[in-house]
Structure 1
Amino acid sequence: MPFISRLRLPVRSRPLSQRLVVPVMCASVTFIAIVDGAITTVALPSIAGQFRLTTAALDGVVVVYPVCLAMAIPASAWLVERFGGKRVLLTALGAFLGSSLLCGAAADLTQLVAFRAVQGLSAGVLFPASAALLFATFNSSEQVRISRYMIIPQQMAPAAAPVLGGLLVDHLSWRWVFYVNLPVGIPVVLFGVVFLAEHRGRPPGRFDLTGLLLTAAGLGAAMFGISEGPNRGWSSVAVVTALVLGAVLLAAAVVFQLRTAEPLLKLRLFADRLFRDTNLINLVGLVPILGAMYLGPLFLQQAQGRTAVESGTSTFPEAFGVLLTVQIVGVLYARVGPRIIVGCGLAGVSVVLLLFATCDEDTNLWTFRAYMFLLGVAMGGVFMPTTVASLANIARQDLAQASTLNTVVRQTGGALAPAAVTTVLVLSTPAAAVADPPVGAYQHAYLALAFVAAVTAVFAFTLPDAPARAAAGGTAASSRSALRRPRHEKTG
C-alpha cells in the first residue's frame, strides 16, 4: 500500500481505547465524504463562469463521482482483508484529500473531471472500510448504542454542505469547495496513524480480477444510466445503452461469482433471509426517503419561488427529527425489535409524504418545516435498525464483505431516488413547461413516493428479526462478541 501505511510519527502512541478511536475515525470520514458529495453542486455556476462554459456542460463533474464510487466499492472488502482496515482507510483518505487538492487546482474541465473521478474511487473504498472497522469493533448490542451517535455526522453533513458551499463560493472561490477537505481531513489522517489499531479479517484468497471487471463495469454503467436518465431522457441512446450494458454485466458478475470459490463479492451472504430482506428494504425504502429530501428544495424554490436560504432552513428540521428518533430507537431496539420499528418508520414516512402531497403555492413555510421534522422522525426508525439487523447473522470474518454489499445497496438506492423523482416530475409536466413543473407535478411525485414507502412498510412487517433481537439483547451477543472483536491489535 502507499506510504501512509508506513508513516511513523516521532510521538509515542498512547493506548487509547479502540472503542473511542474507531468511532471518531468513522464519524470523521463519513462527514468529510458526505459533505464533499453534496457540496459540489453549489459551486457549479461559479465553475462554469471560470471555464466559460454552461452549467449543463459541467454535468460530468457531478456524474463522475457516483459512477466511480460505485466502481470502487466491490474491491474494498478484499483490500480490507488483505491489507487491514487501518491501512486501507488511511490510504483511501489520503488519496481522497490529495485528489481534493488537485480538484481545487484544476486548470480546465478535463482535469477537474479526472481528479473528481479519483475522489469518487477513494470514497468508494472509504465507506465500506470504515463500516467494516466499526462493526468489527462492536457487537450487536453495542452497535445499537454507538449508532445513536454515529447518526449525527450522517445527518449534519448533507444539511451543512449547501450552507458551507455557499459561504466558500461567495467569500473565497469555488476552488475552496475542494480545498476545505484538507484542513479537516489531514488531522484525521494523523490521528488515525497514531491511535488507530490494525484490524484484520481472515486472510483473503487470490484477487478476483474477472469479478472486479464485471462488477465495476456493470455498476458504473448502471449508475451512469440511472443518473443521466432524467436529464437525457430514458429513451436516449446513451442511457439505454448504459442500462442494458450494466444489466448484462451485473448478471454475468452474479453468475460468475456464485460459481467462484473465492469471489470478490460474497453474494452467498444474501442466502441469509435477514441480511437479504434488510438490504431489500434499504434499496427500495431509500427511494421515498431520499426522494423526498431531493424533492423538497425543488418544490420550495421552483413551485413556491423561495430563496436558497429559505429552502435550506426549511429542509434542515429533518435532521433534528432523525436525531430524536434514533435516540429512542436505541433504547427500544432490543425490546421491540427492528421489524416493528422499521415497519412503523416506513409507514410514518408514507403518511408524512401524503401530507406533503397537500402542499401548494400558498402553503406556509412553517407548515412545510413541520412536515420535514415529522419526516425526520419517521426516517429515524429506518436507517439504523436495518443496518444493525443486517449483520446479526454475519460472522466476524465476513463483516468486510457484508459491509461492502450494504454499501452497494445503499448507493444504488441513493441513485434511484432522484432519478425516480425527476421522472415523475417530467411525466406529470406538459412538454411545453418541462423546465418549470406545475405544483400538481410535485404533488404527484409525493404521492408516488408515499405509495413506494407504504409497500415497503408492509414488507418490513414480515422481517424475521428474532436473531437481531437476540443479539442486541445479549443472548447471542456473548457468543458473537469474541468473534467480532479484533483479536490481534497493533497500534502504530
Structure 2
Amino acid sequence: MCVSVTFIAIVDGAITTVALPSIARQFQLTTAALDGVVVIYPVSLAMAIPASAWLVERFGGKRVLLTALVGFLTASLLCGTAATLGQLVAYRALQGLSAGVLFPASAALLFATFSSSEQVRISRYMIIPQQIAPAVAPVLGGLLVDHLTWRWVFYVNLPVGLPAALFGAIFLAGHRGSRPGRFDLPGLLLSAGALGTVMFGICEGPNRGWSSTAVITSLVLGTGLLAAAVVVELRVRRPLLKLRLFGDRLFRDTNLINLVGLVPILGAMYIGPLFLQQAQNRTALESGLTTFPEAFGVLLTVQVVGVLYARVGPRVIVGCGMVGVCAVLLLFATCDAHTGLWTFRGYMFLLGVAMGSFFMPTTVASLATVDRRDLAHASTLNTVVRQTGGALAPAAVTTALVLGTPPTAAADPPVAAYQDAYLVLAALAAAVAVFAFTLPDGPARAAAGSGTATVGRSAFLRRRRERIDR
C-alpha cells in the first residue's frame, strides 16, 4: 500500500505540468496564467505536514493514512470535473493538503512496523515508485492529454488509489491511537504559515524574479514565522513539530545531507529535459526516453546498497554516492548542442547509479537512533526537509540559467548557461560528499546488524507476531 501511495502522490505532483497547455486552451487562458494550479500543490502540501504527526498519534496510522488517501482520490476526481480555473485551483489545494498527510503518515506506519534491518530491505522496494514515478509521469501525461483529455491526468489516480485504499482497509493492522496531549494550535499556525510562505517564495522566485515584491515579502514573512515557530515549539511541552529531535547528531546530519544533497540530485533531473528540448531542440518524447535510464541505474545500485548497508554503513555509501554524482555532473557540463542522445543516456544511467547510494541510506540512518514513540514526529520532520530540498532544486537550476543568460540573448538559455548550471550542481554535490564522510554512522550499522532499531527486542517480536496474524 505504501508503494501505491508514494507512486500516485509523486506522479500527481509531476504530471500536471504536461497538461497545462491543454488546460489553458480549455479555459481560454495563457499557460502562464495557470501558475497557481502548479504552485498551490506544494504550498498546501507544506502547510499540512506539521499536523500529520499529531494526527497519527491521536487517531492511529491506519485511520489517518486511509482518510488522507480517500481525500486525495476525491480531490483528484474533483480536479477532473473542474469547470473553472478557480475550482481547479481549490481542488488542487485539497490534493496538496491530503498529500501533506499521506507522505509522513505512510512513512511513520512503515518504519514503526519494521525493524532497522528490515527497513533496509523494504527500502529496496520503496525506491521503485520514487524513481519510476517521475520518469513515467511526463510520458503518461503526454499520452493521456493527446489521446484522451487533460482531465485524465487526474482521473488516472483512481485506478491505482482505490485498490490500495481497499487493501489497506482490509489488511492493514491499526491501533486506536494514544493521547498525544493538547493540540498545539499556535505551533500549527506558525509552522504551516512559515512553510507555506517559504515554499511559495522558493517556487515563484525563478518565475517572478527574486527581487519581485511578492517573492521578497513571502520569503521575509516566512523566515520570521519560521523563527517564531522554532521559539514556540522549543518551549511547548508537547510540540506539533518535535524540533528537539535535531539534537540527535545522526538525525540532524542525515537531514542536512538530505536538504542540500537533493538540490544537485533533483536539479540534475530537472535540468536534463530542459537541456534536451531547448538547447538541442529535441521532442518531449525524445527527452523522456533519454532521461529514463536514470531510473534503471538507481534500481540497480539500491539492490547492492541494501546488501552492503549493515557491513559498510551509510557514511561510506552516501559519501561515495555523492562523489559519483559530482563526477557525472562534471560529465554533463561537457555536453553541447551536438552531444548524441546515447551519450546523454549513458550519463543519465551513471547518474542513477550514483544516486542509488543516497536515498535509502539517509532515510534508514535518520531513524536509527530515534525512539519508537517519536517515529511519527521524525517522519514529519524528514518530510519537511525533503519537500524543502525538492523545491530548492528547480529554483537553484532556474536561477543559475537566468544568471548565465545574457540580457540580449534569445528566450532560451545558451548552451554555456546549462554547462555553468551543471558545474554549480557539481560543486554542491562535492560539498555534500565531504560532509557525508563525517557522518557518525556507528549506531546505524549496529541497528541494522542487530535486526532491531531503538524500540527494543520485545517490540520487535510483537510487530512480527502482528504481521503474521495479518
Q: Same fold (TM over 0.5)?
A: yes
Residue 50 (structure 1) aligned with residue 26 (structure 2): yes
- Which of 257, 260, 280 pairs up with 2:236? 260
Could you say which residue in structure 1 is the equivalent of 2:361?
385
Query: 1:219-368 to 2 correspondence within 5 Å?
Result: 219-368=195-344
Query: 1:446-461 to 2 correspondence within 5 Å?
Result: 446-461=422-437
Could you say which residue in structure 2 is the equivalent of 1:187?
163
Return 229-238 or 187-196, whichever deviates more.
187-196
- Which of 76, 79, 88 pairs up with 1:112? 88
State whether residues 370 and 454 of structure 2, in contact with CA within 8 Å, keep that contact through their aligned partners in structure 1: no
TM-score by length of 2: 0.97
- Which of 110, 117, 128 pairs up with 1:152? 128
Could you say which residue in structure 1 is the equivalent of 2:35?
59
Could you say which residue in structure 2 is the equivalent of 1:11?
none
- Structure 2: distance between partners of 1:95 and 1:416: 27
TM-score by length of 1: 0.93
Could you say which residue in structure 1 is the equivalent of 2:377?
401
Could you say which residue in structure 1 is the equivalent of 2:181?
205
| Alignment gaps of 5+ in structure 1 | 1-24
- Structure 2: distance between partners of 1:137 and 1:421: 38
Amino acid in structure 2 at the alignment position of 1:243: L
- Which of 142, 159, 184 pairs up with 1:166? 142
Identity of aligned residues (%): 80
State whether residues 254 and 362 of structure 2, in contact with CA within 8 Å, keep that contact through their aligned partners in structure 1: yes
Q: 1:122 to 1:435 in 2, by over 3 A?
A: same
Q: 1:51 to 1:479 in 2, by over 3 A?
A: closer
TM-aligned CA deviation for residue 488 of structure 1: 10
- Structure 2: distance between partners of 1:488 and 1:398: 22
Q: Deviation per CA, 1:157-200: give whole Å up to 9, x if none.
A: 11111111111111110011111111221111111111111046
Residue 40 (structure 1) aligned with residue 22 (structure 2): no
TM-aligned CA deviation for residue 483 of structure 1: 3.8
Amino acid in structure 1 at the alignment position of 2:321: G
State whether residues 64 and 116 of structure 1, in contact with CA within 8 Å, keep that contact through their aligned partners in structure 2: yes
- Structure 1: distance between partners of 2:409 and 2:234: 48
Could you say which residue in structure 2 is the equivalent of 1:438?
414
- Structure 2: distance between partners of 1:246 and 1:481: 43
TM-aligned CA deviation for residue 477 of structure 1: 4.6
Could you say which residue in structure 2 is the equivalent of 1:91?
67
Could you say which residue in structure 2 is the equivalent of 1:22?
none
Q: Deviation per CA, 1:125-148: give whole Å up to 9, x if none.
A: 000000001100111111001111
- Structure 1: distance between partners of 2:310 and 2:176: 29
Could you say which residue in structure 1 is the equivalent of 2:49?
73
Residue 370 (structure 1) aligned with residue 350 (structure 2): no
Could you say which residue in structure 2 is the equivalent of 1:141?
117
- Structure 2: distance between partners of 1:163 and 1:475: 40
- Structure 1: distance between partners of 2:408 and 2:176: 58
SS at match of 1:431: coil
Amino acid in structure 1 at the alignment position of 2:104: P
- Structure 2: distance between partners of 1:63 and 1:203: 35
SS at match of 1:70: helix
- Structure 2: distance between partners of 1:476 and 1:463: 21
TM-aligned CA deviation for residue 154 of structure 1: 1.2
Q: 1:79 to 1:442 in 2, by over 3 A?
A: same
State whether residues 71 and 215 of structure 1, in contact with CA within 8 Å, keep that contact through their aligned partners in structure 2: yes
Could you say which residue in structure 2 is the equivalent of 1:4?
none
Amino acid in structure 2 at the alignment position of 1:480: G
Q: Deviation per CA, 1:268-300: give whole Å up to 9, x if none.
A: 000000000000000000000000000000000
Q: 1:441 to 1:190 in 2, by over 3 A?
A: same
SS at match of 1:432: coil
TM-aligned CA deviation for residue 476 of structure 1: 5.4
State whether residues 139 and 480 of structure 1, in contact with CA within 8 Å, keep that contact through their aligned partners in structure 2: no
- Structure 2: distance between partners of 1:488 and 1:354: 50
State whether residues 68 and 117 of structure 1, in contact with CA within 8 Å, keep that contact through their aligned partners in structure 2: yes
Q: 1:160 to 1:475 in 2, by over 3 A?
A: closer
- Which of 415, 420, 424 pairs up with 2:391? 415
- Structure 1: distance between partners of 2:260 and 2:7: 24
TM-aligned CA deviation for residue 365 of structure 1: 0.6
Q: Deviation per CA, 1:290-325: give whole Å up to 9, x if none.
A: 000000000000000011111001100000000000
- Structure 1: distance between partners of 2:178 and 2:117: 23
Amino acid in structure 1 at the alignment position of 2:329: L
- Structure 2: distance between partners of 1:201 and 1:442: 50
The count of residues paired between Structure 1 and Structure 2 equals 468
Could you say which residue in structure 1 is the equivalent of 2:193?
217
Could you say which residue in structure 1 is the equivalent of 2:153?
177
Q: 1:172 to 1:77 in 2, by over 3 A?
A: same
SS at match of 1:264: coil
Amino acid in structure 2 at the alignment position of 1:437: P
State whether residues 277 and 283 of structure 2, in contact with CA within 8 Å, keep that contact through their aligned partners in structure 1: yes
- Structure 2: distance between partners of 1:454 and 1:464: 19
- Structure 2: distance between partners of 1:250 and 1:39: 30
State whether residues 133 and 199 of structure 1, in contact with CA within 8 Å, keep that contact through their aligned partners in structure 2: no
- Structure 2: distance between partners of 1:374 and 1:186: 36
- Structure 2: distance between partners of 1:163 and 1:397: 41
State whether residues 291 and 418 of structure 1, in contact with CA within 8 Å, keep that contact through their aligned partners in structure 2: yes
SS at match of 1:430: coil
Amino acid in structure 2 at the alignment position of 1:44: L
